[in-house]
Amino acid sequence: MSTATTPTENVGVADADAVRRAIASTQRPAPPGRLRTAAAFGWRGMLKIKHVPEQLLDVTVTPVMFLLMFTYLFGGAISGSTGEYLDYVLPGMLVMSVLFTTVYCGVSLNTDATKGVVDRFRSLPIWRSAPLVGALLGDVVRYVVAGTVLVVLGFILGFDAEGGLLGVLGAMAIVTIFAFGLSWVFMCLGLVLRSPNAVMNVGFMAIFPLTFLSNVFVEPETLPAVLEWFVGVNPISILADASRGLMAGDVDGADVAISLAVTAGLTVVFAPLTTRLYRRV
């Protein structure tokens, strides 16, 4: 038996051939560059904040609460007056507030990995590390928001920044750069652990002792000898000293250099490790 071809089928074949010829004759668009792709994923982080603004509570309410509590509950006992203690503690609180926020980048990456979002990203014809770099760029905005809220509140309470506006901006810049390097550590942790809650718990268990065993809240000279030595070599203490020096206008270049060196070391070690783990998720 012979099978007749209907006019409708002929039209369908002709349309398919026309589509193939049009695709073949059209120049393929150039793939997006690395910077453009990373910026797109950074914008994704901003959209997440837009749709769930509650994410900003940890970078707005928490720094305010800590600064008010420590200044007015312990300022008189530690420094003799709340005003004097505010000048000492605010640069350290800037460091603490921003570094605490870095834990959430690992939580966010772990959430994407456990929900299958990472698998969708890996199927796209883009730079493989773009989701990681883009997520960090988006988190930088959170770091800046946390620092800005804290500094503005400090000025309202009477903080005296002898280094002027440039000193304050310099302190915020070096803290944000350090947070960028530390974020790679928590992103690596987010790819190793199995759940977002585990990442949050382990992250804060690591960052809390390092922060409180530093010179953020008290002068190291008031501590026992062993603790004083540890506080002196703690990178968070050195970063807090750099922040204080920049805000006071008498920064020690060694503190800035060490903070930048630690940042570079964290990035060099954990950025490739995180990228390798990301490709194996």
What are 192-204's pLDDT values in tens digits? 998 999 999 999 9
How do residues 94-120 score in pLDDT, each as one tens digit?
Answer: 999 999 989 988 998 898 888 888 888
Q: What's the pLDDT at 6?
A: 53
Neighbours of 265 (CB within 10 A): 12
Distances (CA, A) of 149 to 74, 91, 164, 211, 271: 21, 13, 17, 20, 29
Low-confidence ranges of the chain (pLDDT < 70): 1-15, 19, 21-32, 54-55
Closest alpha carbon to 207 in 245, 226, 229, 179: 179
* Chain center to CA of 210: 17
- Report if residue 9 sits inside a domain: no
Q: What is the 3 state secondary structure string of the chain?
A: CCCCCCHHHHHHHHHHHHHHHHHHHCCCCCCCCHHHHHHHHHHHHHHHHHHCHHHHHHHHHHHHHHHHHHHHHHHHHHHCCHHHHHHHHHHHHHHHHHHHHCHHHHHHHHHHHHCCHHHHHHCCCCCCCHHHHHHHHHHHHHHHHHHHHHHHHHHHHCCCCCCHHHHHHHHHHHHHHHHHHHHHHHHHHHHHCCCHHHHHHHHHHHHHHHHHCCCCCCCHHHCCHHHHHHHHHCHHHHHHHHHHHHHHCCCCHHHHHHHHHHHHHHHHHHHHHHHHHHHHC
Q: What's the pLDDT at 94?
A: 93
- Report if residue 6 sits inside a domain: no
Phi, psi angle pair for 263, to nearest 5° = -60, -45
Average pLDDT, the chain: 85
- Report if residue 209 sits inside a domain: yes
Q: What's the pLDDT at 1?
A: 47
Query: How many domains does the chain contain in total?
Result: 1
Q: How far is the C-alpha of 273 from the C-alpha of 189, rounded, in Å?
A: 10
- Report if residue 70 sits inside a domain: yes
Give the range of the structural domain holding residue 76, as residue numbers without chain letter: 33-280
- Report if residue 138 sits inside a domain: yes
How do residues 212-227 score in pLDDT, each as one tens digit?
Answer: 999 999 889 888 999 9
CA angle 249, 250, 254 (to 5 degrees): 130
- Report if residue 7 sits inside a domain: no
- Report if residue 219 sits inside a domain: yes
Kindly provide the b/e burial profile for residues 42-54, where b requires at least 16 CB atoms within 10 angstroms of the residue's own CB: beebeeebeeeee
pTM, entire model: 0.84
- Report if residue 72 sits inside a domain: yes
